[in-house]
Structure formats: structure tokens, C-alpha cells
Amino acid sequence: MSVESLHTTAEATVPHPRWRLPVVGDVFGISIRTPVQNSMEIGRKLGPIFERNVLGNRFVFASGADMVAELSDESRFAKHLAPGVASLREVGGDGLFTAYNHEPNWSKAHNLLAPAFTKSAMRSYHRTMLDVAGELAEHWDERVDGSPVDVSSDMTKLTLETIGRTGFSYSFDSFRRERPHPFVQAMVGALSHSQRTTFVKSSALGRLLMRRSDRRNVANLEHMAEVVDEVIRARRDSAEAGPEDLLELMLRAAREDDPHRIDELNIRHQVVTFLVAGHETTSGALSFALYYLSRHPDVLAKAQAEVDAVWGDEEPAFEQIAKLRYVRRVLDESLRLWPTAPAYGREATVDTTLVGKYPMKVGDWVLVLIPALHRDPVWGDDPEAFDPDHFLPERIRSRPAHVYKPFGTGERACIGRQFALHEAVLVLGTILRRYDIVGDPSYRLKVAERLTLMPEGFTLQLRRR
């Protein structure tokens, strides 16, 4: 990273870890498997802004509420593709998440796909979300009072199946397979490779060390492209009109010469982007929420009581999902403590000064470390504590703006936010109404990182209510 204009004047020195070495930089204590948690630990020691220099790459992290408020100012800052996201261009090309601001396909695709996330469109996905949640329940019913369920694995199956069917009318047969779909295996491999290479790939030594991993990654990327291209070809060559989903929106725009049309390569990039981003973050959010529910019996009981009162024994209608307000607060609080997309980059679009201390020229950028922002003192005396009441309306109004950012910020914030929230609340409600969940009392939360965050090794015992 280059932020040369964050000058080292006395009042604007950006702290960095001790024991910096020539050439290699701040390598003591670095973890390529858990860089987010590693950076959170450094931030606890160094404060709300600090830098890390790794093999000549400079990263500046910001998490103070006042800093993030300024970085959210769209008149001064815009999205920056930080190295971890830029490396995903191997996976998503110029799709919505990985496009540079100046690339025309971003605005074309955003305008083209925005109608797919309106309230009326969300209503049309509700039936499919219910069906997939029902398949999860059938899968879990076989394990009631038996072997524990692997929560993160099953939430990944559920969310991938949901976005596959709602977005592209494609099923991965997630709950009928003994092993994950080959697309899933390739995707996990590509994401893990991207995360591991963020710090080291730009150096000659790093490239040498990653050669074998790079070869495996090429094979993974080729397989993902083959699967998606086959889905696109089958729909494009069909004699019948396709269902009204994301893929149909893109193909119809191409057929009708819509001004927002995108070419077939970019359609592939958008499909991959939604398959990856549309399930990875939501599966993590559901897994963390279930973890905290299993650790807090009082919260679990209150959430179950709300589902019973609002839904009763009937299948929930679309409007009844948003009425689970306490369940939504549980989800929000889980995303506060462990936002599954844990960082985003912001670059200066004008020469400016951050919080009156750190001069930034056009193009200079910083990473907002969201889990650290979500533990800022504005959250109270014990920001590490799980408390859904953080999201009571009166508490939300009492906090400064821009201190809760699980979906990013500005015009490049997550386009699928409402989709993810509707799906997650629906699934949590389905689970809470059907089961008493019991966590392993000896389990200690371990967070895995593959660009998104996910509980690792977390299981639940299930009992039918």
C-alpha cells in the first residue's frame, strides 16, 4: 500500500508495531491465516489508526468512530480495492464487488441489477427461501438427539443453495450430497488462496513460495468458470423464456440491446460474484448468531418466544419476517462482534486531512477494520459483550452515525443487504421454532478467515421442541 502523504510530523505519526526490520518490515507476529484478528490485536495496543509494512507493502488501518465517519463522506472518499479485494479479481473480474470505480461495467451492472433487490423482487424470493430452509430442517431432523451438526458447513450449504436458486435457478443439490459440490470446493480453495497471498504475492520471494499454490488456484478458477458458463449457455440457448431472476435480467438486457447491457464475460463475473458474496457472508452471519444464541440461554428463550408469538404454527408470510424484531437484533449484534466481511478500503478523491491530523492526497487510502470499529468506546464500557439490546431503537439514535458498517458504506455498499437480512432472519426463525439448540460447553470460539469470517469447528446438538 502506498500512503506516503500520511506524513510523519510529530502530531501525525502513524504508529506501527515494534521491531520493524529492513526490507521485510513488520513480520514479527504476522499471521497469514488470521490477518484480521492479528490486526485487531495490534490495534488494541496501538490505537484506532496504525500501519503495517509487510515485504514492502504498507497498510494503514483505521477504526476510530470519528475517522470512519469522515471516511464515509462520499464527497471526499470513495471505495478502494484493497489488496485482499483486488486479488479476488481473479475470481470475480469486474463484477460488482471487485470492479474499480472507473470501470463502466460497475455502473451498468448496478443499474441493471438494482431492480432485483426491490421489495417486490424480495417478495418473489420468499418462497424459495422457505423451501431451502425446509430442506435444512429435513436434514437436521435426521440428527435430532443424535450426532452434532456442523453449523458452518450446513449454513454454507443453505445460503449457496438459496442464491443459486433465487439468482440463477440453479441447484447445487447441497443437502443431497455426501461431499460438497465441486464448485464449492473450488471456490473455497480460490478464496483461501486469495487471502493467503494478500501480504506476500507482490514480492519476488512471495511469488516463488506460492508457485505450487498458484497452480492449484488456476485449476480452481477454471472449474468455477466452466460451471458458470454452462449455466449461462443453458439459459441462453433455451427456447423458453427463463424465470425472472438475476441471470434473466442480464441476458434479456443483452437480447434487447438495453443501454445497461453487459457482455457475456461480465455476466459470468456477476454470477460468480453473487454466488460467492451472496452466500459466504450470510452463512457466516447465521453461524455466529447461532453460536451466541447457544451461549446465552436467556437470549435464546426470548428469541424463541418471539418466533412462537409472531409466527405461531403457520408458515410465515413475507411480511412476518420483518416482525421478528428481537431475532433481527440478535443478528445485528452478531454482525457487530464478527462482521463477516471484516474490512473495506477508502481512498481520498480530493486532497484532504483525516481528523485534522493525517494529510491525504488524491489516491491515498486506508483500510477500515470493521470489527475494531464495532468495538469502539461508543458501544459502551464492555463492547466485547454480546447484547442484542445494543440495537434497541433508542440506543441506535443515541450513537453517532457510521459506527456500524457490516455491509460497507456509500454507493459501493452491498447491493444485496436486504436479501441477506430477509434470508438470515427467516432461517433463524425457522431453526428457533423447530429446535432447542445446545452447544458444546467445552468449545471456545475459533474464527476462520478466508477473506470472510466464519466460526470453525462449531457444532450444535439438536432437540425437537
Q: Which residues are annotated as a binding site for heme?
A: 414
Query: And the C-alpha cell for 422?
Result: 430477509
Q: Is 414 a catalytic residue?
A: yes
Sign of CA pseudo-dihedral 26, 45, 63, 191: positive
Would you list which residues are annotated within the binding site? 414
DSSP 8-state secondary structure symbol assigned to residue 56 = T
CA-based angle 58:62:65, to the nearest 5? Answer: 175
Contact 335, 327 (CB under 8 A): no
Element housing 118 (H / E) = none
Distances (CA, A) of 441 to 149, 165, 385, 446: 15, 36, 18, 14
Residue 179 to residue 197: CA distance in whole angstroms = 27
Q: Which one of the listed residues 97, 386, 407, 419 is annotated catalytic?
A: 407
Query: And the C-alpha cell for 87?
Result: 486479488
Residue 462 to residue 465: CA distance in whole angstroms = 9
Q: Which one of the listed residues 128, 414, 419, 452 is annotated catalytic?
A: 414
Query: And the C-alpha cell for 235?
Result: 439459459
Residue 455 to residue 152: CA distance in whole angstroms = 7
Backbone angles phi, psi at 448, to 5 degrees: -85, 150
Q: Which one of the listed residues 281, 340, 409, 452 is annotated catalytic?
A: 281
Q: E strands along 44-200, which residues?
A: 49-54, 57-62, 77-80, 149-150
Who's near 303: CB < 8 A, 6+ residues apart?
293, 326, 327, 330, 428, 432
CA-based angle 334:97:197, to the nearest 5? Answer: 85
Residue 166 to residue 172: CA distance in whole angstroms = 12
Q: Is 281 a catalytic residue?
A: yes
Backbone angles phi, psi at 272, to 5 degrees: -60, -45
What count of other Cβ atoms lies within 10 Å of the Cβ of residue 36? 23
What count of other Cβ atoms lies within 10 Å of the Cβ of residue 303? 26
User: Which residues are known to be catalytic?
Assistant: 281, 407, 414
